[in-house]
Chains A and B, each alone.
Chain A
Amino acid sequence: MASITGTNVGSHGQDAHAHESYLAPKSTMWATIIDWATTVDHKKIGVMYLVTILFMFFLGGIAALAVRLELLQPTRTIVSTLADGTVKTEIVGQLFRAAGAANVAASNDLYNKIFTLHGLIMVFLVIVPSVPASLGNFLIPLMLGAKDVAFPRLNLASWYIYLTGSFFAIASALVGGVDTGWTFYTPYSTMTDDGHWKVVFMIMAAFVLGFSSILTGMNFVVTVHKLRAPGMGWFDMPLFIWGMYGTAIIQVLATPVIGITLLLLIFERLFHIGIFDPRMGGDPVLFQHFFWFYSHPVVYVMILPGMAIMSELIAVFTRKKVFGYRAVAFSSLAIAAIAFVVWGHHMFTSQGEVASAIFSALTFLVALPSAVKVINWIVTLYKGSIDLKTPMWYALGFLFLFSIGGLTGLFLGALSVDLHLHDTYFVVSHFHYVMMGGTIIAFIGGLHMWWPKMFGKMYNEFWGQVGFWFVFLGFNLTFFPQFIMGVHGMPRRYASYPDEFQIYHALSTYGSWMLLVGFLVHLGNFVYSLVAGPKAPPNPWGGLSLEWTDADSPPTTHNFDHDPVVTHGPYDFDDVVPPQTKPGEFPLPAPLPAGVRAH
């Protein structure tokens, strides 16, 4: 620790390199590597997170493609009586079996392990850390006009913890993989592969990653409270910060509970303590309650950062103040609060009527703040000057997809309907529309928006938009058919299915290939811009928050050459021409007609 202190935090200020880009390499390659590995600079940590997370996203995506490939065909036993009267039964349509799995059961096992891996990676290694740890880490201090987050070394620690967690996850996959499903439902999760370490490994992974997100959360809460630039009141903060703040609070409050639950789950597996084991007098449903007490709030940990990005995208690319700033800000907190009391809506088929009724009611309540946000964003477009660049396309894509995802949540919240839809592909589709269509889409959008700021290079606009359309169309092709087959009764986590569902599954699989293409386009586009992209101006989009107005692209080692002082709100486009932009580029709007007040 001390060494880190010496080289970095301590050297803030008198460091000769202080005024050059934080990306500037050190004298030798090793020096550079060491420098990155031991950095406490929130920007470098953010970038390291970004790279690891995108890699994990790639892995999770590959698993997803495997899942889709297996589901391309239903499995059939064809029973035929041969000439000599012997009955021959052959099984067709199982990819993993063709690929060498010994028999149907083995092939199913393989499938179960792959979708479990997919779910676990995507949730614990990708979407939960995604925006806060990468963009959040990079942007929060910049937007607040601070030099760093409150606890830089804690920040670095949380990245290493994240690596440890992912190591556990990958390790357990490598020693054979687990087939518990990402929900670890007992008693299955305590019985499967009894005595084998790999399940404990996977649970450990989730457990360890919990610490990482707790630390990040704490760090952000304190940073927002204590490190705002002079003159920046709570309501002068960019909405991005508000979203991150809500996220951080949930992370801090919800994660410990899953912590203890996973700990007991590990005990259960190692010592058979019996808390979740009916035969020993325990209660398996108790686990479900604890799991969802964490995992429902966590779905908002997933979406709030997406919404946070949305507010910035919309504002900057329409050059309007987000309509109803306070409503949007407070709805983040409202979501964070209500999120804690709706967990039971995942258990309508496993709990008493009274509980179900209450949870159903609260579920509809939690839908409203999101409604407010969506509508406010759309109204913000009104009379704006809408710049249809890749990030804006992603913003529009978010509005489209998240609305579908969220609205389908209403079907699931309605008791009698959920009895039919629970654990069908309708649910699968619902949460992909909100998680992938919401958070990931916003994430990619935000990535395009802040890419120039992070790396000082512009990406290629044309290929950016090509990528967007592949992702957007591919996504709908993949997941919309799943709604229909869900209502038709196709259960989730099925390695094989009756023929009648094949048409929908086939469409879905083709869609997943389109998604792959889309993301590869983006990947290529980003890589190219790093290698040969044109240099980015400090403020390519004409934003007004501090990271655009006061910091260079890429920012210098400690962000600002002078301590920034906030003179105008982040969205006062009506009164301020963004600095570092050609005068003619952003003419001021006409004054309001007489009688109408702007504030």
Chain B
Amino acid sequence: MNDLLRNIWFKPGNSNLSADVDWLFMYILWVCIISFVLLMGAMAYFVIRYRRRPGHVQQRTPNHNTALEVTWIVVPLILVTFIFFWGFQGYMSGQVAVGTAERLNVSAKKWAWGVTYANGAQSGESIYFDNVVLDKGVVQHGNSKMPVFIVPEGQPVIFTMSSVDVIHSFYIPDMRIKMDVFPNRLTSLTFTPLSAEGPDQAGVLYDDPIKQKAAATGMGRDHYIFCAEYCGSNHSEMSGILRVLPKDEYQKTLQEWADVDDTFGPDGVSKKGEARLPLWQLGQYVHSNKGCSQCHSVDGSKGSGPSWKGYYGTEIEFADGKKLTTSTYNGTPDIEAAWAQYIRESIIYPAVKLHAGFANQMPSYADQLSEKQIMGVVAYMRHIAGKVDSIVPDKAPASTPAAGAPTAGTPAAAAATPAAPSPAPK
């Protein structure tokens, strides 16, 4: 019976959260069914039994009974209290990632989702807009081309999300999770995709080379990504595919996506728009070439700005005596999310929060750094703090600006060369 109902109501979930949500849902459903049936049963019975008909008169009955009324306040109260705690605990467990997580950066704009992986690969956005090759992570489905987000099976993933225009909401029904995406701050969402096997739950896919390749091995499981906050004309077209892949396949695909056939211009930015560097290297590049290095050292030596060594992830203190904690920005599950928030804010609005002991002298980089480059800086800081962003090994330095820039051979390139990122200090 329970299973029957469950199959009517739910499409099978595929995340560490789904089971709990489904069970809570079923529990509430049963509470409702029982109380509803009881009440409607009573109602129907009374109506039939006491309907007005010749010779039938209403009878005198006590017209209130405190004991009874208290019962039907207290019983529902108990039931709902239980619902509350269950829901609360499930919600909290969904807020914090378990173990080291795969970090994906999601950007939302009217009307498309874009993702940047730790190794610089991008699915969707860039390709979506200058409609190049369809097989670089875009599928044609229904009314729109959808970006395909790939995630590794059984590996916790964290989506760090920001919007460039209005509020959107990142919703993956089969993962039972949803989070709004704002233009003025970062939000994040985390879960662990369970299995790469099993039936696709994203309906029919039209001409999708990757999938066709995958289909042969029956590998990779597709789920819908929707935009759940109304955002204008094509709100309903703003969707995507989340594809769960086995770890090895995930790595292969990402590396394939990361090396696009473009050479890097002197500024280390590809002709297609953005360097396909691993994010942390892009950050390193930004740090040395966009002027960060003038004030922020990475070796702990004192500059006019705080050094990035032993910096990221700590509970630093602000000029006003407050500390940077999870509650500094509302809606941030863990300290890292708060840090991402803080870094982004400091780059765009440097004056808002001042690190204790440093003067307010940093200019705003709002119009000098792209969202992706900012993500890069965050990744770089994590890297310095010895944190890994991804299970995908970094690309060989071959295609990094270090090698790329000289081939371009412009004076600007010469200028850039000395500062070009060296291989990661392992």
Contact = CB atoms under 8 A, between A and B. Distances in A.
B228 interface: yes
Contacts of B207: 79
A404 B142 contact: no
Interface stretch (B78-86, B276-284, B391-399): B78-86
A355 B100 CA distance: 28
Nearest to B10: A487
Contacts of B228: 349, 422-424, 491
A417 B21 contact: yes
| Interface of B, helix, strand, loop or mixed by DSSP | mixed
Nearest to A92: B143
B72 A372 contact: yes
Given A382-B46, A385-B50, A496-B142, A598 B235 contact: no
Nearest to A282: B184
Nearest to A180: B230
B47 interface: yes
B235 A108 contact: yes
B61 A284 contact: no
B217 interface: no
B61 A383 contact: yes
By size class, the interface of chain B is 35 or more
Given A367-B76, A372-B73, A381-B46, A407 B36 contact: yes
Contacts of A381: 42-43, 46-47, 50
The range of chain A's interface size is 35 or more
B305 interface: no
Interface string A406-423: 011011011111111011
B301 interface: no
Interface in B25-41: 25, 28-29, 31-32, 35-36, 39-40
Interface in B194-249: 202-204, 206-207, 224, 226-237
B230 A185 contact: yes
Interface in A376-396: 376, 378-379, 381-388, 396
Contacts of B206: 79
Given A353-B91, A383-B59, A79 B229 contact: no
A411 B83 CA distance: 9
A496 B239 CA distance: 11
A590 B180 contact: no
Interface in A556-599: 573-574, 587-592, 596-599
A37 interface: no
B64 A324 contact: yes
Given A416-B24, A599-B63, A385 B176 contact: no
B227 A491 contact: yes
Given A75-B143, A285-B182, A499 B90 contact: no
Interface centre among A324, A384, A396 (most CB of B within 10 A): A384
B361 interface: no
A20 interface: no
Contact of B63 (A108, A321, A411, A499): A321
Contacts of B180: 349-350
A589 B73 contact: no
Interface in B150-178: 165-167, 169, 171, 173-174, 176-178
B339 to A, nearest CB: 17
B25 A487 contact: yes
A371 B39 CA distance: 11
B36 A404 contact: yes
A424 to B, nearest CB: 7
A499 B204 CA distance: 9
A191 interface: yes
A351 interface: yes
Interface in B298-340: 327, 330-333
A272 B176 CA distance: 37
B178 A349 contact: yes
A333 to B, nearest CB: 15
A403 B39 CA distance: 9
B52 A387 contact: yes
Nearest to A596: B62
Interface stretch (A5-13, A357-365, A471-479, A513-521): A357-365
A497 B238 CA distance: 11
Interface in A406-461: 407-408, 410-411, 413-420, 422-424
Contacts of A498: 142, 202-203, 224
Contact of A352 (B47, B94, B224, B327): B327
Contacts of A104: 143, 234, 237
A493 interface: yes
Contacts of B142: 74-77, 496, 498-499
Contacts of B231: 188
B87 A384 contact: no
A350 B59 CA distance: 54
Contacts of A367: 76, 80
Nearest to B329: A352
Nearest to B83: A414
A147 interface: no
B406 interface: no
Contact of B36 (A279, A403, A494, A598): A403
A417 B51 CA distance: 41
B214 to A, nearest CB: 20
Interface in B76-113: 76-77, 80-81, 83-84, 86-92, 94-95
Contacts of A194: none
Nearest to B331: A352
Contact of B176 (A396, A420, A574, A596): A420
A368 B179 contact: no
B17 interface: yes
B167 A91 contact: no
B95 to A, nearest CB: 6
B23 to A, nearest CB: 10
Which residue, A188, A419, A493, has most C-beta atoms of chain B within 10 A?
A419
Interface string A494-519: 11111110000000000000000000
Interface in A190-204: 191-192
A353 B86 contact: no
Contacts of A385: 50, 52, 56-58
A313 to B, nearest CB: 13
B20 interface: yes
Contacts of A420: 21, 25, 173, 176-178
A417 B167 contact: no
A278 B184 contact: yes
Given A320-B63, A415-B91, A416-B87, A351 B173 contact: no
A415 B173 CA distance: 15
B290 interface: no
B63 A324 contact: yes
19 contacts: A77-B143, A91-B143, A109-B233, A187-B166, A188-B166, A324-B64, A327-B64, A350-B180, A352-B331, A354-B327, A383-B61, A415-B91, A416-B89, A416-B94, A419-B91, A422-B169, A495-B236, A497-B236, A598-B63
Interface of B: 8-11, 17, 20-21, 24-25, 28-29, 31-32, 35-36, 39-40, 42-43, 46-47, 50-52, 56-65, 68-69, 72-73, 76-77, 80-81, 83-84, 86-92, 94-95, 140, 142-144, 165-167, 169, 171, 173-174, 176-180, 182-185, 202-204, 206-207, 224, 226-237, 327, 330-333, 349
- The 5 A-B pairs of least Cβ separation, nearest first, read A489-B173, A278-B184, A416-B90, A414-B87, A352-B330
Given A278-B185, A353-B95, A376-B69, 20 more contacts: A112-B233, A278-B183, A353-B91, A368-B76, A382-B61, A383-B50, A386-B47, A399-B39, A411-B25, A413-B84, A415-B91, A416-B89, A416-B94, A418-B87, A420-B21, A491-B227, A493-B230, A588-B57, A592-B60, A597-B62
